Amino acid sequence: MGCLSLEKKRRFNKIRWKMIAALVLWTLLFWSGFGLESNEIISKLGAQPQTVFAATQGADSQVPFQVKDSADPASQPPKNQVDEYKARVPKTVVELQQFRRSVSVAIRKSTGQEGTATLINLNPSINTWFLLLIQWRGDQPAEAYHLENPMPATQKLLLDPGYPEGMVIVSQKDIHRCALWSAPSDSELAKAVASGKAYAPLCGKRLLLRNKTKGHKTTLEQVTDLLRTHVWQGEKITTFVRETFYQDTYLNTSILIEANNPSAGTSPHPSGAPAPPLTNPRYSNKFLIPQELGIDLESETGNNVLVGRWYRARKLPGVFVSVIEPNLVTEEIIANQRKQVNLLDEVESDALVYMVAFDLDLFDLGFEMGTEHPKVNWSDRVPEQVRDNTLPGPDGIETLEPLKMTGWVSPADRERVAATFVGGFKRYHGAFRWSDLALKNYGSHYGFIEHGTVLSKLQPGLATVAVFEDGTVDLKTWTEKNNADLWRIRHARQNGVPIIEYDAASGTSRVGALVPRWGQGNWSGSADNRFRTVRAGLGLQEYEGRRFLIYGYFSAATPSAMARVFQAYLCRYALLLDINALEHTYLAVYRHQCSEFSVQHLIKGMSVLDQTRGNRVIPRFLGYPDNRDFFYLLKKVNP
């Protein structure tokens, strides 16, 4: 199933280039009609914001050499850092880290030049991201380096007053002293910066320096970003072109085929698979033909799959695939949801849905920011009356500098990566224009956390993917009370409101309250509320003591169709990810066998988004940096 024919590859590329050409054409028409001069666009494109980083230290800025933190990581952070986190003033991203700990020591070069080094552990409970600040005596500006600890569970990074030439790395095996800055002009730190690598190894690969890099953008993304950022009514242009010329571009359908074996529909449920979905029993012995499915399955029926049945992905333990149409779920779910969702039209009722499940007993979930998206500025969607124009963004920060977003998986994890898939909305769409959420918390911008570092605050009322320090994955609606757990959040990504939400009081799941409400749910789509498009979503299922993360690709759907399918698949919670294009709904799985590495895409057409070198595939997020955020699944070391 995994191969995309040359003819189909050309077709996917032709569709994408036609869309790009249409966007450019309509942009030119708008420019000529509204008099926006090209030199104004060029000046906007050339403008680079200037940022000033203010070094900030915690209350314990002079901590002696130690192997373990002396304080309980769950204890309250210093009051001054809590105040900085809460203050409605312009600030740096460092001041958003209320749990940070800082250590400063005197340092010197081999030439005798003296200075001060400050090491900031941005979240000691996670112990992954650090900021190293070096200030040499004289008028030189402070140097800032974003460090990553590739072994946070077993390794500590320390500054020792007795070792002014560099850093001390303490592991379970040994204590390693690393002379990072002592060389006068060719230090290890300077070489790592000069390398330009997104992850430059330091100290015998015990440490990584994160460098600024440029993330890949498809031509379609470049054009739409240009329109949204620099052209008046640019968002309306993109919506008009998509809805007028390219609606249902990615629609997949299938005929239903009767199984030759009358008992095919009663064959045993695969061991270790998620719970069987609630499908209409009339279709239990029917096959669907998902011609665009790109993941190889353990199946004796080739390209034909039984309605809703889970199949093991071939040679990918813990990964399962199922295919369905919204009109094939049990009549009970359709009847129960009638007053909770909008009616489905014929197109989305028959549109194929591809579900991929990952057994969380076997995988860890990670999250990585793109090099550019999501941003931290104000979304243009926010009502003017709730916007604070004295701040550069809703959290008081204009940029994530001096932290560096790399847009691809760390080299320390690449051999364990089993899958990647795109994250959520960009900041432009990641806030509310209508509803109560638009009037709360400065428009309720979607928040995100990477490696325990708050990059945008998590907002109450929003659907949230959260990964805790012990690896536990949860999908939930964030509340003010949940902020008490911030110190132990490893990763988090918010994206809108729930499609399916869990009621802890009753122990049941229900359709999200805003699923049928286009504007209030911020579901995105067209200006006249026709919001059927290709969409991706994420659900969480619990079955027989196991937990499954379920990714859904909906080839043409509204949130109402997504709610029907996720509830039929017994998800206790589900949320929207991204929409409108293969770029935004991308999922790939990987097989590592000895020295061989192979890539399979959920939808065959997604392969055009990867790069190639000769006959070798260079996968997105894994082989090169990307401009937008994504999730990844790692095989557990000792499941």
* Residues of the chain above pLDDT 90, percent: 72
Q: What is the mean pLDDT of residues 422-426?
A: 96
- Binned at pLDDT 50, 70 and 90, residue 40 comes out as very low
Q: How many domains does the chain have?
A: 1
The count of residues in the chain is 639
**Residue 373 CB neighbour total at 10 angstroms:** 23
Q: Report how far apart the first and last C-alpha atoms of the chain are (Å, whole number).
A: 29
Helices (H) and strands (E) in the chain, counts: 11, 32
Residue 254's contacts (CB-CB under 8 Å, 6 or more residues apart) are 288, 289, 290, 291, 323, 325, 352
Q: Is residue 336 part of a domain?
A: no
pLDDT at 14: 58
Q: Is residue 147 part of a domain?
A: yes
Residues 496, 521 contacting (CB under 8 angstroms): yes
Q: How far is CA 112 from CA 177, 181, 215, 302, in A?
A: 19, 12, 40, 72
Q: Is residue 86 part of a domain?
A: yes
Q: What is the mean pLDDT of residues 538-552?
A: 98
Q: Is residue 567 part of a domain?
A: no
pLDDT at 232: 54
Q: Is residue 206 part of a domain?
A: yes
Q: Is residue 138 part of a domain?
A: yes
What backbone phi and psi angles, to 5 degrees, belong to 417? -70, 125
Q: Is residue 132 part of a domain?
A: yes
Where does residue 113 rank: exposed (0-12), middle (13-18), buried (19+ CB within 10 A)? middle
What backbone phi and psi angles, to 5 degrees, belong to 111? -80, -10
- Binned at pLDDT 50, 70 and 90, residue 522 comes out as very high
When mean pLDDT is compared across 73-82, 426-435, 527-536, the lowest value belongs to 527-536
Residues 428, 70 contacting (CB under 8 angstroms): no
pLDDT digits (tens, 9 = 90+) for 390-410: 999 999 999 999 999 999 999
593 vs 154, higher pLDDT: 154
- Owning domain of residue 202: 79-210
DSSP per residue, 286-312: EEE--TTB-S-B--SSTT-EETT--EE
- C-alpha 558/C-alpha 531 separation (Å) is 6
**Residue 564 CB neighbour total at 10 angstroms:** 28
Residues 321, 310 contacting (CB under 8 angstroms): yes
Q: Is residue 408 part of a domain?
A: no
Residues 313, 591 contacting (CB under 8 angstroms): no
Q: Where are the beta strands (DSSP E) in 338-480?
A: 353-359, 363-368, 417-422, 448-450, 453-456, 463-468, 473-477
- Binned at pLDDT 50, 70 and 90, residue 9 comes out as low
Mean pLDDT score of the chain: 86
Residues 493, 425 contacting (CB under 8 angstroms): no
- C-alpha 316/C-alpha 185 separation (Å) is 49
